[in-house]
Structure 1
Amino acid sequence: MSISLPTPNIAHLTEEDYEHVYEPAEDSFILLDALELDAQLIRGDKPTICVEIGSGSGIVSTFLSQLVGPSSSLVLSTDINRYACEVTLRTAKANQISLNPILCHLLDPLSSRLRNKVDILVFNPPYVPTGMTELLDTQHQKDIGGAWAGGQDGMIVTDIILDQLPDLLTPSGKMYLVTVVQNKPLEIIRKMEAKGLICKEIIKRRAGRELLSVLRISRELHQ
């Protein structure tokens, strides 16, 4: 049985904010729905460290913090975009949540300290297939383009994290990853299984021309 949770309030965000930060859309909401579907599973594991990569508006980190509740859980978020870190703080405050976003690329300054310590990892990556020049330019600019430009198959940035994943998760740890069909989700599943992890598509939805899904990647088998 899933647990119903309210969508975080983002009414404080303005058109000017969305010039610099990705506006929550169907890919954001399918991720919230996936976390809601697994709410009992997540809460039952009593996570200590939860991490979102690329917090953007802060809607997902805020939702995750609400999901795990006022407990011993530490919810971390990162973003390469300084404006996104500021907006994440505002979203957390608007929802009476405490977050401490970290300005960095992916998990670069944290990877060694998070080794085998991440209970929940959440990533709505830049998944749109683009040329490498566009990917490198948007990553260098550290602005809104970095939220969607994903290079070949939309997987260049995602693959960096997937390669690190076995070294990040706790024995009961789980990652929730947003994908589109162009990312070749079945190939992702095979790749993660080759690394000894269990990967399952837990929700799928069409949004306009995009066929979105969320993969749960874990060490343990779950229904």
Structure 2
Amino acid sequence: METPIVKLDIQDLETVYEPSEDSFLLIDALEADFEKLKKAKPVMCLEIGSGSGVVITALAKALNRFFPAYFMAVDINSNACRVTKRVGQDNLVDINVLQMDLINLVKKENTFDVVIFNPPYVVTESLEVLDQRLISKTWAGGIDGREVMDMLFPHIPNILSNNGLFYLVTIKQNDPISIINVFKQWKMSGEIICDRKIRGEHLYILRFVKITL
């Protein structure tokens, strides 16, 4: 899977998350899963909190070689939305971008075949989650780094198609096994599909699917 060209200027970097090890690990995980993704032939793909747009653009570039699909990105940060759109255009893919907090405006059920989420996962005080500085919203995760992602989790079974795939970035402090167990209550099965140790962090990529009888 080709890593997209991403050009961020100094002004962009003041508010938009620069692609980093977690972004690249997520792209690597999608690449490792690419045969599974091709077999699923996703029609609707969504990235929540797209930041620079590097991940959804990489997925779009890869899948567009085999079949057409609709790619949507949402972010609370209007600057991130602008950059995501630009990165898609620079890499010759069409990303439909909406500014919203998590998925507050997404109402349709069982819509998306692929959902990607690289959340703010850093362990912080709860008050830091409420910090109005846009750059803080890219990393401040609150208690156990879970406060933002825990708000989203109950909605995933509703927006994910019956055969859909949900990819999530976490770190060790988020307790990935606990997250997998949380999803069991919604009849979803999860597993760690990729991990990497970097500069004092241990990153994990989790993949979830609905349990079908």
Distance between the aligned counterparts of 2:197 and 2:124, measured in 1?
Answer: 21
Within a 5 Å distance, the mapping from 1:101-140 to structure 2 comes to: 101-110=97-106, 112-113=107-108, 115-137=109-131, 140=132
1:200 paired with 2:196, answer: no
1:57-206 matched pairs, under 5 angstroms: 57-69=52-64, 71-110=67-106, 112-113=107-108, 115-137=109-131, 140-141=132-133, 143-206=134-197
Q: Which letter maps to 1:158?
A: M
In the alignment of these two chains, the number of paired residues is 211
Structure 1 residues 9-39: Cα deviation after superposition (integer angstroms, max 9, x where no partner): 11x2223211111111101111000110111
Q: RMSD over aligned Cα, in angstroms?
A: 1.3
TM-score (norm 1): 0.91
- Structure 1 residue identity aligned to 2:112: V
Contact 2:187 2:211 in 1 (8 A): no
* Secondary structure at the counterpart of residue 119 of structure 2: coil
Unmatched tracts of structure 1, length 5 or more? none
Q: Deviations over 1:128-173 (max 9, x none)?
A: 0111111112xx44x1111100111111111122111111211111
Structure 1 position 48, deviation (Å): 1.1
- Superposition misfits of 4+ residues, deviation over 6 angstroms: none
**Cα distance in structure 2, aligned partners of 1:100 and 1:144:** 22
Q: 2:34 aligns with which of 26, 34, 39?
A: 39
Question: Match of 1:174, SS?
Answer: strand
Percent identity of paired positions between Structure 1 and Structure 2 = 39
Correspondence for 2:20: 25
Task: Check the 8 A contact 2:190/2:209 in 1, yes or no.
Answer: yes
- Single out whichever of 201-210 and 93-102 deviates more from structure 2: 93-102
CA contact (8 A) 1:43 1:67 kept: no
Gap runs ≥5 in structure 2: none
CA offset digits 1:70-99 (Å, max 9, x no partner): 633111000000110111111111111111
- Give the aligned residue type for 2:75: D
TM-score using structure 2 length: 0.95
Rounded Cα–Cα distance in structure 2 between residues aligned with 1:72 and 1:57: 22
Instruction: Name the counterpart of 2:4.
Output: 8
The alignment status of 1:211 with 2:202, answered yes or no, reads yes
Instruction: Provide Cα deviations, 1:98-145, integer angstroms capped at 9, x if missing partner.
Output: 1121011011111x12x11111000000000111111112xx44x111
Structure 2 CA distance for aligned equivalents of residues 193 and 63 of structure 1: 30
Equivalent AA in structure 1 for residue 22 of structure 2: D
3-state secondary structure, aligned to 1:133: helix
- 8 A Cα contact 2:2 2:62, kept in partner: no
Cα separation, 1, equivalents of 2:26 and 2:89: 21
